[in-house]
Amino acid sequence: MTHQPTAVVIGSGPVGSAFARTLLESDPDVRVVMFEAGPQLTETPGESVRNIPDPAEKERARERSQGPLSGSYRESLGIPGTAVVEGMFTARQGTYLLDFGGEGSAHSVGFPAAAAATNVGGQGAHWTAAIPRPAFSEKIPFIGDEEWEELIGEAEHLLHKQSAAFADSALGAAIRSLLEEEFAAELPEGYGVSTLPVAGDPQPDGTMRWAGADSVLGPLIDPSSPLSQRFELRDLSLVRRVEFEGRRATGVTVQDLRTGETSVFPADLVVVAADAFRSPQLLWASGVRPRALGHYLTEHPVVISTVALDAGKMERFANEADLVEEQARRAKNPADPVAAVNRIPFSEPEHPFSVQVMYADVPPFQLDPAHPLSGNRWGYVNMGYGVRKRPRYEDGVTFDDAEPDFSGFPNMTIRYELTAAEEAEIAEATERLRRAGGALGHFVAEPRLLPNGSSLHYQGTMRAGDTDDGTSVADPFSRVWGYEGLSLAGNGLIPTATTMNPTLTSVALAVRGARQAASDLRSKGGRS
Ligand code: FAD
């Protein structure tokens, strides 16, 4: 009997899912087992919790994602949910701070908002689902334009890209017109004010079913598809180590969190897709310790504000009937606060920022009812300018073998600093945000820089490069330099300074990595 090749994917977020799917579609023989440390939240594995209509149920799903210290997560293991650790608090709903301050907490110096999600679907069960393409110097330098176009197109397909989301919203169009008046003359052709591409499927009633890992897994979780026969997802399964013979990965040691039992699971290929902090941590714990591991951490600093839309300005481009129509649409899905998403993309050298402009009928915080702009009839926009962070070796996460974290892994210390290069662009972004706010209405929250780590878009900690010169962890096909059968997936591979949401880029890299891994598996097994 011939040996059926087996691949293990560690982590069930959208990027690990893209790797799994591409591998199964590229190799007719391979079997893929995906291990996920967190619980399954929705009947369809990996679905966005934003699709859950009941607010209490949605809240519970978010809490269950907040790691081993959250009460609901403990309940899913049969431990009383009341045993919540003091000091535990949430970063963004569905995530938990790595430096949460309790026993076994990570340490963070200058990156206080670093956060993670532990659940089937990963952060992709909680994300905003914005999927802009990287541009100019944000792009991956070692992939040629023609191949990149194909890869990014495939990534958009896997993520159910929807560029026309809310494009019919007259209010969204009015917001674009006002921003165009202010900025169009300064923006290059093709990089002007536009709608923001998002991942999801518009529903006949005008609402959106947001995409998550479920959309990416697609046929893998559809029992009628033959691909599902070769795919298995095991939740509450924490991978503790990657196992090796010399420098060849041979499988993983995995702990079943329901029973506490640990076993070795053999595999021909191990794919580490456990996010930009926990992937390097797992590699470190497994003895894989290249110089660049954990270093070169970047995110894009974000300057944000909330603006009440000015009736007089909006009425130049939209009328009362448009407003009533928008309000009626919003009333259909009051639990989903996102509508009419616009943006100004990154371009060089004129506009080294990614701007996201989200329309909503209420501000994202409790506005004092006595505030003159409370209950603003034309609604509000939440605007954010994403700014570059230049990669530096000294920004990153290190691991301490002598100090276990709450899961028993070598604990993390994150060190991170903004430099003069970032400060200058942050100042420029703040000034532009003031202009954008002035063009649209009146500030109800003044522009401010969010604490480092707030973007949730952590990159560079296991970066890919085209030479093994100590500044990268993986080769251009996401394989760890110097190892066999060990591939990586996730935002940590992105080596460039970016200003926008990274998931689309990481899915494109996962497609490339998985195709290569399929070809490696075929040649290793003597299959053509
Ligand atoms: P993740 O989704 O982080 O999944 C990693 C998984 O690995 C987790 O489920 C974790 O439990 C599991 N894991 C870790 N260690 C182990 C282990 N040892 N064993 C087993 N399993 C393990 N991105 C965008 O591009 N656009 C957006 O608009 C956007 N908005 C966001 C909004 C929010 C509120 C959040 C939280 C994130 C947002 N992001 C956005 C980021 C986006 O969700 C991530 O880029 C994406 O989920 C990364 O996918 P991934 O598969 O690499 O990792």
| DSSP assignment string, 209-238 | EE--HHHHHGGGG-TTSGGGGGEEEESSEE
In whole angstroms, give the CA distance from residue 156 to residue 197: 9
Alpha-carbon distance of 344 to 139, in angstroms, equals 17
Q: Which residue has the higher pLDDT, 81 or 356?
A: 356
Please give the backbone phi and psi of residue 504, each rounded to the nearest 5 degrees, phi first.
-60, -45
Query: How confident is the model at residue 479, as a pLDDT?
Result: 98
Helix (H, G, I), strand (E, B) or coil at 128: coil
Q: What is the pLDDT of residues 514-525, one digit of tens each?
A: 999 999 999 988
Take atom 37 of ligand 1 and give the residue whose Cα is closest.
Answer: 127
Q: Which of 215, 336, 499, 503 to mutate to test the pocket of ligand 1 (most atoms within 8 A of CB)?
A: 503
Closest CA to 37 of 116, 102, 127, 105: 116
Residue-wise pLDDT tens digits, 120-141: 999 999 999 999 999 999 999 9
Give the span between the Cα atoms of 177 and 476, in whole angstroms: 41
Q: Do residues 31 and 295 touch, judged by C-beta distance below 8 A?
A: no
Neighbours of 334 (CB within 10 A): 11
Measured from CB, residues less than 6 Å from any atom of ligand 1 are 10-16, 35-38, 92, 94-95, 117-119, 122-124, 126-131, 238-239, 273-275, 278, 282, 456-457, 490-491, 501-503, 506
Q: Where does 28-86 have alpha helices with state H?
A: 55-64, 71-76
Q: Which residues pair with 354 in a beta bridge?
A: 386
Find the 287 Cα to ligand 1 centroid distance in Å. Answer: 24
What is the rounded CA–CA span in Å between residue 527 and residue 344?
A: 48
- Distance between Cα 379 and ligand 1 center (Å): 31
Look at strands 339-344 and 194-195 and give their pairing.
Answer: antiparallel
Q: Which residues pair with 307 in a beta bridge?
A: 381, 443
The confidence score (pLDDT) of residue 331 equals 80
Say if strands 353-360 and 380-387 run parallel, antiparallel, or are unpaired. antiparallel
| Minimum CA distance residue for ligand 1 atom 31 | 127
Rounded CA-CA distance 42/40 in Å is: 6
Q: Specify the amino acid at residue 222.
A: D
CA 64 to chain centroid, in Å, comes to: 18
Q: What is the pLDDT of residues 188-206, one digit of tens each?
A: 999 999 999 999 998 887 7
Reported as a single tens digit per residue, the pLDDT across 262-293 is: 999 999 999 999 999 999 999 999 999 999 99
What gap in Å lies between CA 509 and CA 18, rounded to an integer? 9
Tokens of 492: 């940590």
C-alpha 475 – ligand 1 centre gap (Å): 22
Residue whose Cα lies nearest atom 34 of ligand 1: it is 127
| pLDDT at residue 67 greater than cutoff 90 | no
Residue linked to tokens 């230049």: 390
Residue 351 annotated in active site: no
Distance CA 491, CA 498 (A): 11
Supply the pLDDT for residue 270.
98
